[in-house]
Amino acid sequence: MKGTFPIDKFERVQTPFYYYDTKLLRKTLQAINAEISKHEGFVVHYAIKANANAKLLRIIQEAGLGADCVSGGEIETAVKSGFHSSKIVFAGVGKSDWEINLGLDHDIFCFNVESIPELEVINLLAKQRNVIARVAFRLNPNVGAHTHANITTGLAENKFGIAMRDMMTVMLHAQQLTNVKVVGLHFHIGSQILDMGDFEALCNRVNELQTILLNHRICLEHINVGGGLGIDYEHPNRVPIPDFKAYFDTYAKKLKLQPQQTLHFELGRAVVAQCGSLITKTLYVKEGSTKRFAIVDAGFTDLIRPALYQAYHKIENIMSNEPMEPYDVVGPICESTDVFAKQIDLNHTQRGDLLAIRSAGAYGEIMASQYNCRKLPQGYTSDEFIS
């Protein structure tokens, strides 16, 4: 056992695989619940797209969180994992008819609507079923986030949401429709955000928009500010749980809720990232002309974040205590981007050593692909290795 990994038990399973520390997941969920219990009307939905592993979903559902879905498949997965449909929200710029019908049949809490054509289709499908769909408008707040350009979503140039200047138009349009009820406003400005100032900017924007609505005597049941809270990829051991206090306090201080209004959050990464590691075996150590490569059996088919947006993941050799040396850690896939890290220090590594690629619980297993006809990585929880 090195660190918190039961490596003696890891022999039983095929590498690469995801290892989830359920104790840390439970602690993270407790931290969230402890913070929101201090604030009236705060509700947290877990963004399923970060990780849909059934064993994790069960734990998250049992902690009382709702579900944030972005596809019909995610709605089915959420329901199967025990999330009550009254706690399911459904977002996405391109909802197809069957997905909307699925949401209507389950009578989900809310559709987060991103355009007028979508609103009309929801109204039509709801009418065919003789039901009223609860909807929130996803507005594009034109708030930048200090994060990677590929994961900022709240700028006017992004495809997401309805432009702010169209807010009253869509509100009034919805009032003409018989089978939708507008219950909220929805926002989501991006992911891996660590600067509370970005969330503060969103709060200021929401306050401005609410003032306009109140001037038109419109008060909605809820505000949904999406997710995006980041985690510390550099220090998974020192900072295993994100600063939920700073995050929720920012909203409590800066966002002016109306009486009876609830405030919804959709956290993905912050809930699951730190509890997961990708465990991979060193196949070969190759001395290049200028570099030393640790060639491992995981590739970007198992964890695409480094290849997709140059994401940093801390990597540890969990079997060696020998002196540190620099390595490039690379996968077996026939693409030059199949690199997990360049020039990082690892304890002296040899064939057979297991490496842990840390903070991989979010946007890891769920984004795995079968390129090169590779097998999908399995996910195991720490509970499965006890005995």
Ligand X SMILES: *Cc1c(COP(=O)(O)O)cnc(C)c1O
CB of 273 to ligand X, least distance (A): 8
CB of 60 to ligand X, least distance (A): 13
Candidate segments 245-253, 265-273, 313-321, 379-387, binder of ligand X by CB under 6 A: 265-273
Binding of ligand X at residue 361 (CB under 6 A)? no
336 three-class SS: coil
Q: Decide: 69 and 106 in contact? Cβ < 8 Å.
A: no
The Cα–Cα gap between 360 and 19 comes to: 9
CB atoms within 10 A of CB 132: 16
The Cα–Cα gap between 257 and 262 comes to: 8
Q: Considering the complex, state which of residue 113 and residue 346 has its C-beta at the smaller distance from ligand X.
A: 113
CB of 106 to ligand X, least distance (A): 18
- Write out the H or E segment, with its range, that includes residue 200: helix 196-215
Binding of ligand X at residue 69 (CB under 6 A)? no
Touching ligand X, residues 136-195 (CB under 6 A) = 188, 191
74, 99, 232, 266: which one binds ligand X (CB under 6 A): 266
161 three-class SS: coil
CB of 303 to ligand X, least distance (A): 16
Touching ligand X, residues 39-68 (CB under 6 A) = 47, 49-50, 68
Residues near ligand X (CB under 6 A), total: 17
Binding of ligand X at residue 87 (CB under 6 A)? no
The Cα–Cα gap between 69 and 77 comes to: 9
The mark string for 271-310 relative to ligand X (x by CB under 6 A, - otherwise) is: ----------------------------------------
Binding of ligand X at residue 269 (CB under 6 A)? yes
Torsion angles phi and psi, residue 174, rounded to 5: -65, -35
Q: Considering the complex, state which of residue 353 and residue 365 has its C-beta at the smaller distance from ligand X.
A: 365
Q: Considering the complex, state which of residue 160 and residue 340 has its C-beta at the smaller distance from ligand X.
A: 160
37 three-class SS: coil
CB of 160 to ligand X, least distance (A): 8
Touching ligand X, residues 210-239 (CB under 6 A) = 226-229
Contacts 24+ apart (CB under 8 A), 195-202: 195/145, 195/146, 196/246, 196/247, 196/250, 198/143, 198/144, 198/145, 198/146, 198/228, 199/225, 199/228, 199/247, 199/250, 199/251, 199/254, 200/250, 200/254, 201/143, 201/144, 202/141, 202/143, 202/154
Binding of ligand X at residue 91 (CB under 6 A)? yes
Q: Counting beta carbons within 10 angstroms of the beta carbon of residue 41, is it exposed (0 to 12), middle (13 to 18) or buried (19 or more)?
A: middle
| Nearest CA-CA partner of 365 in 297, 298, 312 | 298
Touching ligand X, residues 327-346 (CB under 6 A) = none
59, 174, 255, 267: which one binds ligand X (CB under 6 A): 267
CB of 306 to ligand X, least distance (A): 17
Q: Considering the complex, state which of residue 91 and residue 139 has its C-beta at the smaller distance from ligand X.
A: 91
Touching ligand X, residues 98-117 (CB under 6 A) = none
CB of 77 to ligand X, least distance (A): 15
| Nearest CA-CA partner of 123 in 136, 110, 135 | 135
CB of 66 to ligand X, least distance (A): 12
268, 299, 364, 377: which one binds ligand X (CB under 6 A): 268
DSSP per residue, 247-287: HHHHHHHH--PPTT-EEEEEESHHHHGGGEEEEEEEEEEEE
- Residues of the shown chain interacting with ligand X in the complex, contacts defined by CB under 6 A: 47, 49-50, 68, 70, 91, 188, 191, 226-229, 266-270
